[in-house]
Chain A
């Protein structure tokens, strides 16, 4: 769920040069690390939060950390593009504390990062085993996310909706009411593509009430058939478009604009994550008018939510100041208050979120279960089948296809082909 990533920057690059230019020499050239327990020295920390650099929050964080551990210095480095970081890692020189890129497989973790088992956090954390290999933990989540529907309470009121929908049929009814009131019921953000990912990488799990559902797809040759959770989930997205519940010109959308439209009450809902709440509020609507509820995926009104990790922090194994880097990771996750700032659920199980929308959400969800990472096999097959299930590409294909069931058939075929090529 790397929703902050902005990938506009690559416009003018000739892909040929880009592909050819990735150096293949991943020979780490840094000096051997000394085993000292002193927390001192300068560390560089990579972050995706360019907005927090702009508003000075990052500087504030580094000052707090430096005060806690005199003799240390924290330098921030921001990035907007995974590929740049990947090239750096390929070259063997990268920041001391950084995020684990989604392309890195568990087997590759020990090549790049230092194990974090001795931080003494272990089972006190959510997602402790997400970025682990052979019993060693290499990544700690910055915070947890839950996916659900962000909505404008005033728009609901205007359409005469008293309470948030808890079943799929209620959801469609509310959409119809909103449409009648002249409000766009739910914005899909088709053009930006990434906001569509939740229809394929979250909703099927919610429909099946199984956090491991996606991983079970690898044993099926037809995981996209209409009666499967994946097929049902895509059908919801397709129904929204067919009934005109999405944006009027849904193929020409703009994420920044959608947030403003939601703040103004012209769009009522968006299926995103808790992190979207502060962003909508930032666009000029009081916090009390923005709500967040679990996706009404069930027929009995009992909707689960799945807790998924945001970015994972990891420590560069070639770092000269591993203890400092480790201390920083621990501090950011347990003491900095970053989770609340970002509107997420703290990774430390004992901490509770202070965000009102999350409190509302947790009240309405029948239960919140911890998500599981997608298996390597699942990723291999979906990549081999060239089905973009985690980035929204597959949803785009389905929403554009002239025939829904033949689109699902094609996906089944691509999946089965890739599966037979890759083997079990």
Chain B
């Protein structure tokens, strides 16, 4: 007969074993391997892993073709921040007493549910030189604003980042909505009695109460911007003016067969996202642990 304590331990262990095994197999083991590969010049197929030390990391920072791609991520970052502002704006409107609230909520959330690849294809057609956007501009008498939205290298990244904004802002909005609904109504009532207007309520009550959620949303947005991948990959096949750091990583691995260097790039991206999170916590963090 097992003692109660042993039984307890056995139970805990057996419940944890499966998720832990899965976690280790599919998350930790590949991560450790990834770091190991990043110090080798493995070609992705052979059985030898020539150790090259830090040279992969050196070449990432010395080759502007690789690291410089972060310049293209900048537009995703800017659009990501705008996306959060719009999302918060709509969340506040939809949290007030307006008609057909649920209808608008679901309409605004729809882009996020749509198939991400399909969205990119839709926009590929919208952005054609004879596509919907240019036709619309023409019919509105704004023909002078017509552009090659993809063909013009100085605006292509903004065109792509807009797609990301359009797709993900519904998701941000839903999170903001949930947070807004948890703000106690008494606070608003008290503020109203004290004579606060809408703007002051927003600044002094709403935003401080959902600060943690704003942080999470920004975190998701910024790491998403650094990891921008599927939109340039599908829309432009990650052509040189639109290549991001992650599409370059793919290229290095699968076109140039340098899995070692690509692994190092993945590690650099991981570290970079960590650093950005840390800075953001330092700047915005008010002692509340949210991440």
Q: Which residues of A contact B (CB under 8 A)?
A: 8, 10-12, 14-17, 19-22, 24, 26, 82-83, 86, 89-90, 103-104, 108, 190-193, 248-252, 254, 383-384, 386, 388, 391, 393, 396-397, 400
Contacts and interface: CB of A to CB of B under 8 A. Distances in A.
Given A193-B237, A249-B151, A251-B151, A19 B117 contact: no
Given A89-B45, A252-B128, A19 B259 contact: yes
B257 interface: yes
Nearest to A104: B45
B34 interface: yes
Nearest to B42: A24
B31 A20 contact: yes
A14 B37 CA distance: 17
Nearest to B30: A20
A109 to B, nearest CB: 12
B255 interface: yes
A388 B255 contact: yes
B239 interface: yes
Interface in B82-116: 116
Interface stretch (B136-144, B175-183, B191-199, B261-269): B261-269
A242 B41 CA distance: 40
B248 to A, nearest CB: 9
B44 A103 contact: yes
B284 interface: no
B45 A21 contact: no
A191 B255 contact: no
B76 to A, nearest CB: 16
13 contacts: A8-B117, A10-B233, A12-B230, A15-B266, A16-B30, A20-B29, A20-B30, A20-B32, A24-B49, A251-B150, A252-B127, A252-B150, A383-B256
B205 interface: no
A14 B223 CA distance: 13
Among all A-B residue pairs, the 6 with the closest Cβ atoms: A20-B30, A249-B129, A20-B34, A252-B150, A251-B151, A16-B266
| Best-surrounded residue of B239, B257, B262 (most CB of chain A within 10 A) | B239
Contact of B116 (A12, A15, A248): A12
Contacts, number: 121
A15 B246 contact: yes
B153 interface: yes
A251 B256 contact: no
Given A86-B45, A108-B45, A386-B256, A249 B150 contact: yes
Interface of B: 26, 29-34, 37, 43-47, 49, 63, 65, 116-117, 124, 127-130, 148-151, 153, 156, 227, 229-230, 233-234, 236-237, 239-241, 246, 249-259, 262-263, 266, 269-270
Contact of B148 (A82, A191, A252, A397): A252
Contacts of B234: 8, 11
A397 B124 CA distance: 21
A10 B46 CA distance: 23
A144 B65 CA distance: 36
B34 A16 contact: yes
A195 B190 CA distance: 67
Contact of A383 (B257, B263, B270): B257
A396 B240 contact: yes
Contacts of B270: 16
Contacts of A251: 148, 150-151, 156, 236, 239
A90 B251 CA distance: 20
Contact of B256 (A8, A19, A190, A388): A388
Contact of A386 (B32, B252, B269): B252
> Interface majority SS on B: helix, strand, loop or mixed?
helix
Helix, strand, loop or mixed for chain A's interface? loop
Nearest to A393: B255
A248 B128 CA distance: 10
Given A190-B239, A393-B255, A19 B129 contact: no
Nearest to A17: B30
B33 A24 contact: yes
Nearest to B129: A249
A389 to B, nearest CB: 10
B151 A250 contact: yes
A192 B235 CA distance: 10
Given A108-B46, A393-B251, 7 more contacts: A12-B116, A20-B29, A20-B30, A24-B47, A249-B151, A251-B150, A386-B252
A198 B116 CA distance: 32
Contacts of B259: 19, 22
Contacts of B34: 16, 19-20
Identify the interface centre among A11, A15, A191: most chain B CB within 10 Å of its CB: A15
A252 B251 contact: no
A191 B236 CA distance: 6
B166 to A, nearest CB: 17
A191 B237 contact: yes
A16 B263 CA distance: 7
Contacts of B128: 249, 252
B263 A19 contact: yes
A238 B31 CA distance: 43
Nearest to A193: B237
A382 B250 CA distance: 17
Contacts of A16: 30-31, 34, 266, 269-270
A249 B257 contact: no
B129 A252 contact: yes
Contacts of A10: 233, 250
Given A20-B34, A248-B129, A383-B258, A15 B236 contact: no
A20 B239 contact: no
Contacts of A104: 45
Nearest to B131: A252
A391 B253 contact: no
Nearest to B55: A421
B44 A400 contact: no
A192 B237 contact: yes
A137 to B, nearest CB: 20
Contacts of A383: 256-258
Given A249-B129, A254-B124, A19 B253 contact: yes
B263 A252 contact: no
A400 B233 contact: no
A8 B31 CA distance: 25
